[in-house]
Amino acid sequence: MVVLFAVSALAAASWQLMTRGPLEQTGSAIRASAIASIDAAPLSEEPVSRTSTIFYCPSTLLIPVAGVSEADLIDSYNDVRGDGRTHHAIDIPSPAGTEVRAVDDGRIAKLFLSKPGGITLYQFDPSERFAYYYAHLERYAEGIEEGKILARGELIGYVGFTGNANPSAPHLHFEITKLGPDKRWWQGTPINPYAPLGGTQR
């Protein structure tokens, strides 16, 4: 399946080299109506570049929340939040305590307690050109620590509403960024996760 989404030109070329195969999906669908009440955290308090272009790319990442399918995903990447910022992420609503699994292989770069994001995890992809950011976790899974090499699908934590998330709408806030040459885990060029996770425009 080929889908259309916006990424930086450099990120696009790198992402194409990473492509491995079709999306894996699990479980039954959950209701996505809770998305309207979500106000999730930004990647960080640091500014990031917003340059983008058009690129065609197959979906390659595992949906990180157990029981969620492609059809459940809602593209909230360009949504404007209450403070005027653009979301630059996708929110995946699910009951608190739902398993969160690694979307890809790769190293845990940082475990971080953030005022907006709450309990968060930054994972680098195997090439360490991209970072995956998981926020508002209830807690980490047992054995999760910085430097650990994750396998795609490995349990990393549980859906929650830590940070600035609405307690009545627990969800996973998920971002992808293209890292710079200095590989700062908190900073990079944002990429819309919707298509890499298998979402299709409706």
User: What's the rounded Cα separation, in Å, for the pair 3 and 12?
Assistant: 13
Average pLDDT over residues 116-137: 95
Strand partners, 55: 5
pLDDT digits (tens, 9 = 90+) for 145-167: 999 999 999 999 999 999 999 99
Q: Two tokens at 90?
A: 């996708």
Kind plus residue range of the DSSP H or E element containing 137: strand 130-140
Q: How many CB atoms lie within 10 A of CB 177?
A: 26
**% of the chain beyond a pLDDT of 90:** 55
The chain-wide mean pLDDT, for the chain, equals: 76
> Of 59, 63, 83, 87, which is closest to residue 73 (Cα–Cα)?
63
Q: Two tokens at 186?
A: 């908190």
Look up the pTM and report it: 0.71
CATH code at 2-191: 2.70.70.10
**What is the residue extent of each domain of the chain?**
2-191
